[in-house]
Structure 1
């Protein structure tokens, strides 16, 4: 539009006119750094000897930025940055609060250790065909999911890490990988379609996709908009992403097929993004609808944890055992969502921290055990304690952690969830959590007895490899597991702050719209 000479246009009503503080750029760094390093890795795709070093360097920078991001959020509260300097809700906002920043940090730690372990698990051919670029782009999608303040961009970042995960699944082009990737792709595309449909309906009802804007408008539209229908659609879509019962059948059909480091990334990180999306959307945006659906979610949670661990008891392949343990852990996190109380949600967040680290470590442990014993089959894998006693120590600590037994990290979130269940008048849910812990002890105790404690079988495969690099990776993950178990207070504090931030969205809204707060 033409402007008369000498006439000044006032942009303050549509755009941010003040310079963006340099520190605010920190919120986009965990997304931008993996994208930049992924692009660099593509440019040097033929120089595979540089790939591991570049990826580890990029993830170290990302990890440090996530530490700075979380420290700033804990000290000063949530902060946001809106792209293009457009005022929200028109500009696309990135938002850092205690929930998103803490999950992004733990996810990056898991990815950093996996990038290190991939030095022994991914050969030159796998690197040439894009393992590290796919990994970096997947982490950009994961970080973007945790840090976006816009529902549609949550969908976009889901697509980024899903497309990257397809590439990681088929890397190697073996028949079982292609079969697993086909099941994974088809069923996740169904979930993605539901997500996109729910997002379209949400935009039709609210005229916005900014989460803070939706949160402040929801009360006024509750009588005229189908918010319960929207909540059910999001529950189904994100429940499928998180592998919740009864839409969890894609996970055990695919997570045992890729390289073990890829399975570690998936099992440790990806399902938690689905749980995060459920927390963000249902707790923060649709709390009355969550109360209406809480009974259904509680039964889904109980079914997911019990059926998951029963599946683990029936498996003879170590990777399949761990896939069902991942599903069972999702059920435990959904229990806190069903309760919807401050302690229940804090228990879910703490369990998400714990599960990201422990499940990544267990898959890497399986890789080390395969390297020592030559197989993943519990029928023949044996004698590992006699040949490598240290593997027994790692296995014991990690298995105690998953079962929720001291001195490891799994104890405290389960204590919080059991107490919250009893306080909420749902002792049966507390019983389900405790029964799952017992069954998990049996399932992983069986693995320990057969693979580690049992004497070496005469017909067992012989393919011993040096476990030094694997032990280094396991140490990097096992130490935080012990620290969280022995000194849980700081982690509980972060989890409680994260839960409080989604239960009371006024701080989130004020960050995006400084002059307003939710009534």
Structure 2
């Protein structure tokens, strides 16, 4: 089990090293990267199978007992996120084979993708706040390189915005970690849960924790700290945009869920603040999307609005709401990555991603229209797709405790999301291309991209049709989050 505990980090890290050794041979690097992503999928599936039985895997690196050792902890939530990270990572490296680019850029792309997967998986399984900071740094270094890959003034401009605000969040995170350690004497998440749970936290510890949650909010792109995301995601290479859209903000959301449920498992003032932030994030994100005229900018603003749904589940703090947040995380990672994949290929076929300069794609590539419709309808919450069940659970959880405004905002956001998806459908697929059908082209290599988009669309449908199974897992994951005692006991070596 110890090998399984470190495998989510070890697999992409070893893959990165192998790709680095083979860097002079672009084809070999691509093969190694694909095999590494497949191995991560296998590890994630194994972890989900173990975690589904209620086992919490925990261990201390270096043989040092908690709270001195570096804790790694995998429960139902982190296992599911590692598995879905493997799926999106595999989809990204396969989709990239359909994209134009020079050999050197392709080699570097795979190296940085594996570095990013290492950081993301490390963040999902760490049980220590300082090491969470370290893993954030690993994924950010890789993401900085990926977003600017290929160069150009537009990408450099977007990278500057991305770099500045993420470094600000990282600095705030490091400062708050230092303050938190000074106030509590520990940075282990289990230790912090014990300090706050016993009522021993000083006002300084609470202030430090709030600053840390603010840093996570920037990384999750919550209102009013979301501006960096729609200013940067749309400028990157299409596979990079999809990878970012699927994973990066979810690391911030995961950190929020993990820390808040450990230190404040019951509803309190912090949850009230998060509730209003979640509602504002949903509304501002979806209204921002309505004002955009480029496909990936629209989709980028929808990342913001959808993050609001996830934080809504955390803010409501009931078992059903937490289960809805877990369900929404799983659903959204798949759907949003797929929409960026489809949007990237659609822009290449139409010669632009400005809606005014697009059109005719339904007649030119009907299969692409279908592959867009499935995740788009799921994002809007149309039954029986995965997004419907995720939204349904969160709205029901809101109504159950009388949070009428939150339920209304969630429903209204779903309506506006459908309108945005309809705008893309009408402009890019239904209307004629302004330069005539001869302006449309089919890229030379589309089969890998088609396979990826079809597989993710099928997964979206499967999650919707098999919502009972996914919901059972999400409810069990929420039960673990609602009761930190099991997490603490596993870290302390008292059973998992």
Query: Taking structure 1 as the reference length, what is the TM-score of the superposition?
Result: 0.92
2:488 — aligned with what? 509
Cα distance, 1:516 vs structure 2: 8.9
Instruction: Name the count of aligned residue pairs.
Output: 494
* SS of equivalent residue, structure 1 residue 287: coil
1:500 — aligned with what? 479
Aligned match for 1:190, one of 153, 157, 168: 168
For 1:432-451, what aligned pairs fall within 5 Å after superposition? 432-451=409-428
Deviations 1:269-288 (A, max 9, x none): 10000000000011112336
2:376 — aligned with what? 399
Aligned match for 1:130, one of 85, 108, 120: 108
1:488 — aligned with what? 467
Aligned match for 1:327, one of 298, 301, 304: 304
Aligned match for 1:359, one of 324, 336, 340: 336
* SS of equivalent residue, structure 1 residue 81: strand
* SS of equivalent residue, structure 2 residue 471: helix
Deviations 1:122-154 (A, max 9, x none): 523453561101000100000000001111101
Structure showing greater radius of gyration is 1
Closer/same/farther in 2, CA of residues 497 and 516 from structure 1, 3 Å limit: closer
* SS of equivalent residue, structure 1 residue 26: helix
* SS of equivalent residue, structure 2 residue 72: strand
Closer/same/farther in 2, CA of residues 129 and 116 from structure 1, 3 Å limit: closer
Cα distance, 1:433 vs structure 2: 0.3
Are 2:109 and 1:99 equivalent residues in the alignment? no
For 1:34-45, what aligned pairs fall within 5 Å after superposition? 34-45=12-23
1:25 — aligned with what? 3
1:201 — aligned with what? 179
2:234 — aligned with what? 256
Bigger CA drift: 382-391 or 460-469?
Answer: 460-469
Cα distance, 1:79 vs structure 2: 1.3
Indicate if the aligned counterparts of 2:196 and 2:264 stay in contact, CA closer than 8 A: yes
1:121 — aligned with what? 99
Cα distance, 1:469 vs structure 2: 2.2
2:451 — aligned with what? 472
Report the Cα distance in structure 2 between the residues aligned to 1:51 and 1:508, rounded to whole angstroms. 39
Report the Cα distance in structure 2 between the residues aligned to 1:458 and 1:183, rounded to whole angstroms. 34
Deviations 1:248-290 (A, max 9, x none): 00001100111010000001110000000000011112336x6
Deviations 1:80-109 (A, max 9, x none): 121111111111111110011111111210
Indicate if the aligned counterparts of 1:126 and 1:172 stay in contact, CA closer than 8 A: no
Cα distance, 1:464 vs structure 2: 2.6
Indicate if the aligned counterparts of 2:123 and 2:251 stay in contact, CA closer than 8 A: yes
Deviations 1:341-389 (A, max 9, x none): 1111111111010110000000000112123222111001101111111
Report the Cα distance in structure 2 between the residues aligned to 1:319 and 1:224, rounded to whole angstroms. 45
Report the Cα distance in structure 2 between the residues aligned to 1:396 and 1:275, rounded to whole angstroms. 27
Deviations 1:35-92 (A, max 9, x none): 1111111122121121211101001111101111111111251011211111111111
2:279 — aligned with what? 302
* SS of equivalent residue, structure 2 residue 353: coil
2:322 — aligned with what? 345
Report the Cα distance in structure 2 between the residues aligned to 1:122 and 1:156, rounded to whole angstroms. 33
Are 2:408 and 1:431 equivalent residues in the alignment? yes
Report the Cα distance in structure 1 between the residues aligned to 2:4 and 2:299, rounded to whole angstroms. 35
Indicate if the aligned counterparts of 1:145 and 1:273 stay in contact, CA closer than 8 A: yes
* SS of equivalent residue, structure 1 residue 80: strand
Closer/same/farther in 2, CA of residues 65 and 329 from structure 1, 3 Å limit: same
Report the Cα distance in structure 1 between the residues aligned to 2:433 and 2:442, rounded to whole angstroms. 13
Aligned match for 1:47, one of 13, 25, 29: 25
Bigger CA drift: 142-151 or 485-494?
Answer: 485-494
User: Which structure 1 segments of 5+ residues have no match?
Assistant: 1-22
Report the Cα distance in structure 2 between the residues aligned to 1:476 and 1:219, rounded to whole angstroms. 44
* SS of equivalent residue, structure 1 residue 244: coil
Closer/same/farther in 2, CA of residues 515 and 42 from structure 1, 3 Å limit: closer
User: Which structure 2 segments of 5+ residues have no match?
Assistant: none
Indicate if the aligned counterparts of 1:231 and 1:282 stay in contact, CA closer than 8 A: no
Report the aligned-residue RMSD. 1.6
Bigger CA drift: 263-272 or 220-229?
Answer: 220-229
2:133 — aligned with what? 155
Closer/same/farther in 2, CA of residues 172 and 129 from structure 1, 3 Å limit: farther
Deviations 1:201-229 (A, max 9, x none): 11112211111122122233546343432
Are 2:67 and 1:74 equivalent residues in the alignment? no
Report the Cα distance in structure 2 between the residues aligned to 1:226 and 1:431, rounded to whole angstroms. 37
2:90 — aligned with what? 112
* SS of equivalent residue, structure 1 residue 130: helix
Report the Cα distance in structure 1 between the residues aligned to 2:473 and 2:495, rounded to whole angstroms. 26
* SS of equivalent residue, structure 1 residue 379: helix
